[in-house]
A and B are shown apart, each in its own frame.
Chain A
Amino acid sequence: MTAAPPPGAASATAAQGAPAKGRIVEGHEVNANRDLTCDVCIVGSGAGGAVLAAGLVGRGLNVVLLEAGGAHTKADFDLQEGRAYPMLYQDRGTRGTADQSISVLQGRSVGGSTTVNWTTCFRTPPRILKHWADHHGVDGLTADALRPHFESVERRLSIAPWPLERANPNNRKLLEGAKKLGWDVHNTRRNVKGCANSGYCGVGCPVDGKQAMHVTYLPDAVAGGLTLFADCRATRLEHRGGRVSAVHADVLDRATGRATGKTVRVRAKVTVASGGALNTPALLLRSGIEGKGLVGKRTFLHPVVTLVALYKEAVKGFYGAPQSVYSHQFAEPAPGGVGFFLEAAPVQPMLMAQAAAAHGTMLRDTMAQLPHISAVLGLIIDGLLPDETGGTVTLRSDGRLRLDYTFHPAVNDAMAAAHDAIARLHLAAGAERVLSLHAEPVEVRDEAGLRALAAKPYGGLKHPIFTAHQMGGCVMGGDPARSVVDAKHQVRGFDNLYVVDGSVLPTSLGVNPSETIYGLAHRARDFVAEAAS
């Protein structure tokens, strides 16, 4: 049996309304075990998997894509956080490191994290590409080599600067504070078309303004013949002698997340893991593919810290594009140091309450100020120091993934420096006071407050830390002893297994990762297509 859709399968329409040659098959439609053969099987429909799928289908290949999350459209996005996080995020929105020192926001639906991301787009900084070449032996990834890929992706996703006039007041605080302090500050580029400036990117765009994968590359691919199984979780890769012979997957009941008992088996000439950082390493580990002990290692997170800044006037950070301004003032520290960059965050009640990590009067009094809160984030650029190990993905005895993160002392220093910078920035922007989120918070109104802030401890479980950018775990490199995939995304020791997603990044990026992953996936189309033909 080939990848032809079963009778009655939901039909997806192409972006431009042309009848689709392919299908999205939802879990509830799979009433019998399926056994498919195709040219390429891709696991994961996010930034990496979607761009790749469209390119392969465009080259005439027969592609099957398996996605653990559900297929959702704007009609499902009612902008209620209580519904969206369990529906659209990994582990129903409760993912974290094993010790809960870092809360992990990561998407899980058709479109992956792009369905819920905040639309900020950057090309990979040349200094990072140079670092990969110099320290990880990554060949061929230069700004020039990547340019055509970025240009193509930027056209398809309408990536363009977001006018400062449309920045919401929360982002304006970042702009004003940085300007007053003489810091580097700019407007971001965003992947949007017809954006309503609602502010609800993180819970699924209500008007398809965000050019996420489920409204762009995936409909393109389905139009060209892609069969996409939603609610279908790859459990393991069957392999022998360096060849993957089959991908085994469980069909899931969307409501409960439990396996329905039905399975999908895909035998493809080439298999591509695009489950994203954390999940791709976990899939490989479940399949007994350990890459000489390197799979799961070097997982970097851009650990995020923030403070609560209170302004007299209403900021209403819950409305308006979540991120439209950034500062790279502190991105390139002195040798031996770790840098960070500054961006804003949506200030919606559930996310804010979780970020506050408090209880009782402290939580109540913070939340009571919600419309007056501005939230600027410090994102720590981890993974660039030679002795940084970052996070490690392993498996628990019941197969669940486990993430542990080691805080390098320089990362802790960077978190302290980010606290200082964020507090200074808000004071410069006119905040009445800035509160740290330590268990015993520091209230900063002036230099004395900044000194008290500096005296606080920094690190895991000392204050809340988040990540929305998971990178690494199957890192790319030139040295077989230090990398899981080569510069063409091929898993070392395998003829027909590739990884195309954020897990190949050898370090964090110092910028938001989606465009890097789109660009790498666009470049990887040729490598995978060649292997499949």
Chain B
Amino acid sequence: MKRRTLLKVGLGGGVLLALGGVGLSLRGPTRNRPVPDTLRVLSDRQYLTLAAVAARVALPGEGGPTSDEVGVAAKLDQLFATMHPGDVKDIQQLLDLLDNALGGLLLGGRTQTFTGSTTAQQDEILSEWRTSGLSVRRTGYKVLAGLCAATYHADPKTYASVGYPGPPSYGNVRAAQETP
């Protein structure tokens, strides 16, 4: 199977993960942040991978919270619990692929997992996915970066750091409308 085909199939069908017995693919996640016990959809590893991605996608602006403080990955887990299971499965496979050392080797010549990489390496990996010649990686980038960026910037705790005063309140207008 050509590398390109393998990767394409891998995203949809978990072929890489089916290559059991290959030492690299079995390397565990790096547990460098706590995993909440409220997860509804993601495995611990998928959570750690998503949280690591979020931390590199959404850097805090001036005085802004970190993505962990916002709880980006935990919020996404809650969102996934309300999405079509098929859509969620695609995202889970993407996370599995990203933190699979064998996948890293095939995709980018690296033997570390994503969670086990330094932040500089993680930035590099994200940039590579963003500009990759393989459309499957650009697609993966759009999914993960889009979800993390949107979830981070939807949180009112981040508003001040981007100069957004937040939405105005229309309670008074509504109250006036309700008054006969």
Which of A206, A208, A356 has a CB less than 8 Å from the CB of B149? A356
Complex Cα distance, B143 from A94, in Å, reads 9
A residues 184-214 touching B (CB-CB < 8 Å): 196, 198, 200, 206-208
Given A100-B143, A353-B152, the answer on whether A257 and B84 have CB atoms closer than 8 Å is yes
Cross-chain contact A439 with B156 (CB below 8 angstroms) = no
Cross-chain contact A439 with B174 (CB below 8 angstroms) = no
Complex Cα distance, B131 from A358, in Å, reads 11
**B126: nearest chain-A partner, CB-CB:** A359
Cross-chain contact B87 with A100 (CB below 8 angstroms) = no
| B side interface size, CB within 8 A | 50
Stretch at the interface among B20-28, B30-38, B105-113, B162-170: B162-170
Q: Is B45 an interface residue when CB atoms closer than 8 A count as contact?
A: no
Cross-chain contact B58 with A363 (CB below 8 angstroms) = yes
Task: Map CB proximity to B onto A147-171 as digits: 1 under 8 Å, 0 otherwise.
Answer: 0000000000000000000000000
Stretch at the interface among A72-80, A114-122, A482-490: A72-80
Which label, helix, strand, loop or mixed, suits the secondary structure of the A interface?
loop
**A73: nearest chain-B partner, CB-CB:** B174
Q: Is A261 an interface residue when CB atoms closer than 8 A count as contact?
A: no
Q: Is A287 an interface residue when CB atoms closer than 8 A count as contact?
A: no
Q: Is B19 an interface residue when CB atoms closer than 8 A count as contact?
A: no
Residues of A within 8 A of B151 (CB): 82
Task: Map CB proximity to B onto A63-90 as digits: 1 under 8 Å, 0 otherwise.
Answer: 0000000000011001111100110000
| A side interface size, CB within 8 A | 54
B residues 136-175 touching A (CB-CB < 8 Å): 138-139, 142-143, 145-156, 158-159, 161-164, 167-168, 170, 173-174
Which of B82, B143, B148, B158 has a CB less than 8 Å from the CB of A257? B82
Which of A103, A198, A361, A364 has a CB less than 8 Å from the CB of B168? A198
User: Which of the listed residues B61, B143, B146, B151 has the most CB atoms from chain A within 10 Å of its own CB?
Assistant: B146
**A319: nearest chain-B partner, CB-CB:** B168
Given A92-B79, A350-B150, A354-B150, the answer on whether A368 and B61 have CB atoms closer than 8 Å is yes
Residues of A within 8 A of B153 (CB): 349-350, 352-353, 367
Q: Is A396 an interface residue when CB atoms closer than 8 A count as contact?
A: yes
Interchain nearest-CB distance for B59 vs A (Å):
5
Interchain nearest-CB distance for A365 vs B (Å):
8
Cross-chain contact B83 with A207 (CB below 8 angstroms) = no
**B167: nearest chain-A partner, CB-CB:** A79
Q: Is B81 an interface residue when CB atoms closer than 8 A count as contact?
A: yes
Residues of B within 8 A of A370 (CB): 162-164
Cross-chain contact A350 with B154 (CB below 8 angstroms) = yes
**A351: nearest chain-B partner, CB-CB:** B150
Sample 28 A-B pairs with CB under 8 A, ordered by A number: A75-B174, A78-B167, A80-B154, A196-B170, A196-B173, A200-B167, A207-B170, A256-B81, A348-B164, A349-B154, A349-B164, A350-B154, A354-B149, A357-B146, A358-B145, A359-B57, A359-B58, A359-B126, A360-B123, A364-B60, A368-B62, A368-B161, A369-B163, A400-B84, A400-B86, A400-B87, A439-B131, A461-B139
**Nearest 9 CB-CB pairings of A with B:** A82-B154, A79-B167, A353-B153, A359-B57, A206-B170, A353-B149, A350-B154, A100-B142, A349-B153
- Known A196-B170, A396-B86; further 20 A-B contacts with Cβ < 8 A: A79-B168, A80-B167, A82-B75, A82-B155, A91-B84, A99-B135, A100-B138, A200-B167, A206-B173, A349-B154, A353-B149, A359-B57, A359-B127, A359-B130, A360-B126, A363-B145, A364-B58, A369-B163, A370-B162, A439-B131
Residues on A lying within 8 angstroms of B by beta carbon are 74-75, 78-82, 85-86, 91-94, 96, 99-101, 103, 196, 198, 200, 206-208, 255-257, 318-319, 348-350, 352-354, 356-361, 363-364, 367-371, 396, 398, 400, 439-440, 461
